Every structure is written in C-alpha cells, then in structure tokens.
C-alpha cells in the first residue's frame, strides 16, 4: 500500500515524462511490478530459513542502522558552528552514503539484464525502460535517505527554526536526486566508452575504493571536526569547493536563511543546486539512454569468463603460479586445491569487492591509533613517540585481519553450484584440497602483505624487529588455521554467500582471544630478544602441527560441520 502512494507521487511528474518521450502508463506498470518483486525478495536475515514466510515490506534492521549513521552525520552538523561549513560537510557525507547504497544495489538493479528478456520484447521504448530503472533505484534510495536524514531534519527544526528545517528537507530531496543521477551518469558514460568486461571491473574497483574511503573517513572525520584549525576555516574562500554539489546545497541554505547578507556567488550556487537535478535527468534520458539496453545485453553475454585462464601458465602470471604450486604443494590434491584457489580468487569480482578493502584497513587502524586517537601534540611529535615505542607490534598483528578476511570469504560465491566437481572426484582426502587452499591464501595474500609491512617496520624501527616479525607471522598463521579449522569447513568457492553457521559465537570469541592474548604477551616480552626467538620457534611448531591436523580433515568432519 505504501509503495502505491510513492508511485502516485512520482507520477505527478507525468507531463515532464511525456515531454521526454516516456510512456507514463507503462512506467506505472513496470514500477509496480519491480517494487512487488523487491518486497518478496528475502534479506540476509531470513534467506537461510527453510520454511517460506511472508517477507516484510521494509527491512527495519537496515533502516535502524542507517538511522544510527544519520545520527553521526547530525553530530557533524551540530559540531560545526558555521552553517555554511556544517551543511557542506553534512551533505557531502550524506551523498557519499547514498552513493554507496546505490552502488551496493547497482549490479542487481541497474544492470539486471533479466528485464531485457521480459520487457523489451513488448512495445516499450528505451527512454521508458531507462527511466523506470532510475526511478526504481530512486524510490529505493529515497527510503534509505529518509532513514539517514530524519535526525538531521529534527535537529534543524528544533535547533535552527522552522525556516531552516523546511529548507533542510528541500536540501535532502535535492541531495538524494543528485546522488542518484551523478552515480548513474558516471556509470552510463563508462558503459558507453568501455567494453562490458572493463565496465564490470570498473564497478568492482569503484566499490573497493569507496569502501576504503568511507572506512578511513569514519575514523578521521570526528577528530578533524574537533580540531580548531577546521573550525576556523572560512569555506567561502575555498574556491575549489565550488564544483562540489554539497557546496551548492549549503549556498541554497545560506540564501534562504540569510538572504539579507547573501552575495552574488551565493545566488549562483543556489541556482546550480536547483537546476542540476533537471539537467542530470535530461542528460540521462536524452543523451545516454539510447543504446543502453544493447550494452546491457553485451554485459550479460560476456559473463565473468571473458579471460581464458589456464593452469599451464597462460593467464596465470606466465607460469609463476605453477612454479610455486610445485614447490609448496607437491601432493596432487593439494596442488589442485592450491591452483583452483589461486585462479578463481583472481577471477571472481564479488570476492575482490569483499576482500580487497581489508588491505587498506590495517594502515587506517595504525594511523588512527598512532596519530588520530592521540590528543595533543603535533604530527611530528606523535611520530617520534611511535618510533620510541613498540607500536610496530600492533601494526604486525593487524595484518592477521587480512588473512582471516580472505579465509572467511574464500569458500563463498554466487556460482557455488559449479563446485560439484569436488564431490564427484574419486578421492577420500578432502583435507588435502583444504590444505592446498590454505597455502594459496597464505602465499598469495598474507605473505606479500606481511612482507610489505615487515619492510616498513625494519626501515623505521631497525633490524631488531626481525624476530618479532617471524613470531607475529607464525601467530597470524596459527590464527588463520584456527579460523579455517572451526569456521571454514568448505572447499574453495563451494558455498553460497551468507552461509555462515550460527551458534558458534563462543568459539569465535575464543579464536579471537588467541592472537589478542599472544599479542599482549609479545608486547610485554619484547624487551627480551631470546624470549622472542624461543616463542617464534614454539609457534612455528604449533602452527605446523595444526596445519597437519587441518589437512587430515575427513568427509565425516565436514558433514558434521554443516
């Protein structure tokens, strides 16, 4: 029922749609159908249930967490006493959050080529079809925008008055519209000028970069907002911000609330805020929509297998993988598990999107704990303090986060049904395949990253940290083995996403306690070099013992885990 009112509200723009060549009645039918399908799509909280149940029309849990995010943005709005700066920062964060929401649903909504087989055989033109996609995303994003902005709206009405609150609602509407169209225009332009394969890569790496940026901003923005330097900035003098849409929205707010002192530039940027959604709509419908559906068909035809990958070396780094596999995993089953993991982890985009951001989380955490989280003192003073202490131990232990992230996703993919080959092959040693998988994860992801961190540590703290590096590497490997033993009971890319088994929270905390406890002991014992060497040898023996146990996994133990 709620969706019906939303569609009726959207179709108040019927004259504009007709002017652009969109059929309003066809648009209504498509939107009703799409939103019904959205309501019937199970979310991650009920997709493991075997019994069919009524799916709610909205995910209240998702809305709740977005509301918490909105509270954080409202804190930014209230912390900055300059309204122009406050609204620029708030709507920058607001639009980025909406963009991430849009991108996360992009593959399943905007480039869902199944619509081509159902709608395009009917007499529906490109413009109606493209606008229906955009409006579908817009309605979905508007729900998210409501959850994010509701606390900001309340604050504006209570803290700044009715005029400011009313203007804030208009700013939210414009910011939501701009977020939708700017992301869509970017994608449509890329789709126009690139091949389908490169377009998919663009989406994946764009998701990865945005995830990293947002993660870093979450930890750095609050501290920057509190700094006196930021509070003293006169944002109107920063001319480069004139190209940022959130700056236009701040100018619109300034024009309405303080019209008596508004400058000519404020009028210009406020006009841009009002006109930009209309211009964006025109560009998408008139310029970029023609031929868009043919490109989508090309994407569907290209699949994920545009590059032929051979285990004999072509497409596999010219045999580099084969050389390592022969040395590290000489057993035939381990060799097979090693190669399959190595090759498929390079090909599956969903795996990259989930795993690659974790490589940036480690330096972000290190910078946060080493610089951002320290009150007082300049950056140079904090850096000298780091060099005099043992913060390198924290940096080393944080690398274990990369290994466990890879392991937790290495067995999951949307194409898990292709894993039948593991269960039909005549062998009775599944642990050997798992052992090869673990070796591939360590050699391909953990070891190179750890070497990079090790070079950084030796450069700034000296060769004395070499024994610390060896100890931490073995502790990280042991941590990864414990995760693999108790939480990863699946062959590489053989399970559907969100297939984590419940009821293991206590075991998870116990596993996490191992590196945490050993890390504290390491920090305390770092003053004794001999003790670190003895601990490194001991951890190597323990890790090797655990690995031998892991590669003896049987079919029975894997079935019990399920």
Average pLDDT score, the chain: 75
pLDDT in tens, 461-486: 888 888 888 888 988 888 888 888 88
Q: Is the pLDDT of residue 222 over 70?
A: no
Of 34-43, 179-188, 204-213, 299-308, the poorest mean pLDDT is in: 299-308
Q: Which two tokens stand for residue 212?
A: 């990293």
pLDDT in tens, 507-551: 777 888 888 888 888 888 877 888 888 888 898 999 899 888 888
What is the distance, to the nearest Å, from the Cα of residue 59 to the centroid of all Cα atoms in its chain?
19
Question: Which residue pairs from 506-514 have beta carbons closer than 8 angstroms and sit at least 24 positions apart in sequence?
Answer: 511/479, 511/482, 511/483, 511/486, 511/487, 514/475, 514/478, 514/479, 514/482
Q: Which helix (H) or strand (E) holds 35?
A: helix 24-40
Q: 287: closest CA among 198, 184, 196, 200?
A: 184
Q: Is the pLDDT of residue 497 over 60?
A: yes
How far apart (Å, rounded) are the C-alpha atoms in residues 300 and 196? 8
How far apart (Å, rounded) are the C-alpha atoms in residues 513 and 125? 59
pLDDT in tens, 386-400: 777 777 888 888 888
- Give Cβ neighbours of residue 401 (< 8 Å, ≥ 6 apart): 358, 361, 362
- Give Cβ neighbours of residue 235 (< 8 Å, ≥ 6 apart): 82, 84, 85, 88, 241, 247, 250
Q: Is the pLDDT of residue 294 over 70?
A: no
pTM of the model: 0.65
Q: 71: closest CA among 150, 160, 179, 170?
A: 150
| Biggest CA pair distance of the chain | 83
What is the distance, to the nearest Å, from the Cα of residue 545 to the centroid of all Cα atoms in its chain?
36
**Residue where the block lists tokens 């019937």:** 40
Query: What pLDDT shows up at residue 110?
Result: 57
Query: What pLDDT shows up at residue 346?
Result: 82
Q: Which two tokens stand for residue 462?
A: 């000296």
**Which range has the top average pLDDT, 95-99, 300-304, 454-458, 488-492?**
454-458
Percent of the chain with pLDDT strictly greater than 70? 74
How far apart (Å, rounded) are the C-alpha atoms in residues 404 and 481? 9
**Collapsing DSSP states into helix, strand and coil, what is residue 495?**
strand
Residue 182 — pLDDT band, cuts 50, 70, 90?
Answer: confident
Q: Which two tokens stand for residue 136?
A: 């579908």
Q: 143: closest CA among 6, 288, 331, 275?
A: 6
Query: What pLDDT shows up at residue 273?
Result: 84
Rg (CA), the chain: 27
Of 17-21, 129-133, 208-212, 285-289, the poorest mean pLDDT is in: 285-289
- Give Cβ neighbours of residue 118 (< 8 Å, ≥ 6 apart): none
Q: 119: closest CA among 232, 37, 227?
A: 37
Identify the residue with better confidence: 93 or 113.
Answer: 93
Query: What pLDDT shows up at residue 142?
Result: 76
How far apart (Å, rounded) are the C-alpha atoms in residues 325 and 436? 9
Of 245-254, 276-285, 369-378, 429-438, the poorest mean pLDDT is in: 369-378
Query: What pLDDT shows up at residue 8?
Result: 81
Of 23-32, 224-233, 356-365, the poorest mean pLDDT is in: 224-233
- Give Cβ neighbours of residue 442 (< 8 Å, ≥ 6 apart): 403, 477, 480
Query: What pLDDT shows up at residue 307?
Result: 47
For the chain, the straight-line distance linking the first and the last C-alpha, in angstroms and rounded, comes to 40
Residues 70/147, Cβ–Cβ less than 8 Å: yes
**Collapsing DSSP states into helix, strand and coil, what is residue 150?**
helix
Residue 288 — pLDDT band, cuts 50, 70, 90?
Answer: low
């Amino acid at each position: 029922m709620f969706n019906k009112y939303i569609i009726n509200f959207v179709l108040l723009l019927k004259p504009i749609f007709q002017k652009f060549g969109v059929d309003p009645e066809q648009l209504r039918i498509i939107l009703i159908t799409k939103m019904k399908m959205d309501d019937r799509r199970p979310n991650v909280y009920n997709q493991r249930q075997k019994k069919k149940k009524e799916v709610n029309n909205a995910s209240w849990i998702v809305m709740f967490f977005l509301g918490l995010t909105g509270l954080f943005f409202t804190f930014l709005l209230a912390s900055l006493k300059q309204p122009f700066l406050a609204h620029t920062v708030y709507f920058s964060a607001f639009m980025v959050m909406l963009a991430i929401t849009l991108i996360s649903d992009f593959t399943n909504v905007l480039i869902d080529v199944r619509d081509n087989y159902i709608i395009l055989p009917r007499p529906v033109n490109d413009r109606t079809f493209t606008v229906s996609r955009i409006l579908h995303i817009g309605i979905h994003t508007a729900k998210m925008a409501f959850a994010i902005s509701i606390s900001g709206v309340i604050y504006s009405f209570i803290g700044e008055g009715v005029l400011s609150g009313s203007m804030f609602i208009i700013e939210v509407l414009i910011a939501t519209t701009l977020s939708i169209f700017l992301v869509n225009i970017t994608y449509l332009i890329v789709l126009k000028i690139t091949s389908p394969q490169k377009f998919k890569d663009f989406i994946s790496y764009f998701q990865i970069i945005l995830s990293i940026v947002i993660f870093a901003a979450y930890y750095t923005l609050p501290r920057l907002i509190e700094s006196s330097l930021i509070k003293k900035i006169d944002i109107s003098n920063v001319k480069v911000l004139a190209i940022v849409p959130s700056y236009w929205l701040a100018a619109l707010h300034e024009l309405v609330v303080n019209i008596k002192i508004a400058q000519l530039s404020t009028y210009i940027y406020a006009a841009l805020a009002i006109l930009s959604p209309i211009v964006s709509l025109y560009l998408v419908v008139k310029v970029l929509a023609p031929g868009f559906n043919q490109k989508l068909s090309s994407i569907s035809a290209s699949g994920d297998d545009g590059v032929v990958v051979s285990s004999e070396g072509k497409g596999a780094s010219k045999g580099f993988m084969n050389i390592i596999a022969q040395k590290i995993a000489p057993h035939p089953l381990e060799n097979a598990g090693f190669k399959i993991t190595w090759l498929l982890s390079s090909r599956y985009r969903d795996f990259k999107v989930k795993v690659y951001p974790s490589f940036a989380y480690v330096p972000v955490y290190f910078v946060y704990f080493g610089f951002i989280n320290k009150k007082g003192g300049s950056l140079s003073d904090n850096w000298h303090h780091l060099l005099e202490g043992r913060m390198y131990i924290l940096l080393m232990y944080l690398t274990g986060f990369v290994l466990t992230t890879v392991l937790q996703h290495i067995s999951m993919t949307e194409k898990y049904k292709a894993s039948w080959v593991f269960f039909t092959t005549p062998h009775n040693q599944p642990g050997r395949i798992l052992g090869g998988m673990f070796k591939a994860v360590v050699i391909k992801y953990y070891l190179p990253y750890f070497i990079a961190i090790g070079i950084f540590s030796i450069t700034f703290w000296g060769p004395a940290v070499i024994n610390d590096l060896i100890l931490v590497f073995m502790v990280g490997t042991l941590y990864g083995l414990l995760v693999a033993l108790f939480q990863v009971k699946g062959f590489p890319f053989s399970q559907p996403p969100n297939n984590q088994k419940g009821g293991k929270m206590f075991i998870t905390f116990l596993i996490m306690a191992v590196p945490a406890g050993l890390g504290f002991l390491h920090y305390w014992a770092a003053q004794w070099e001999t003790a670190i060497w003895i601990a490194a040898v001991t951890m190597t023996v323990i890790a090797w013992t655990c690995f031998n146990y892991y590669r003896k996994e049987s079919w029975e133990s894997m079935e019990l885990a399920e």
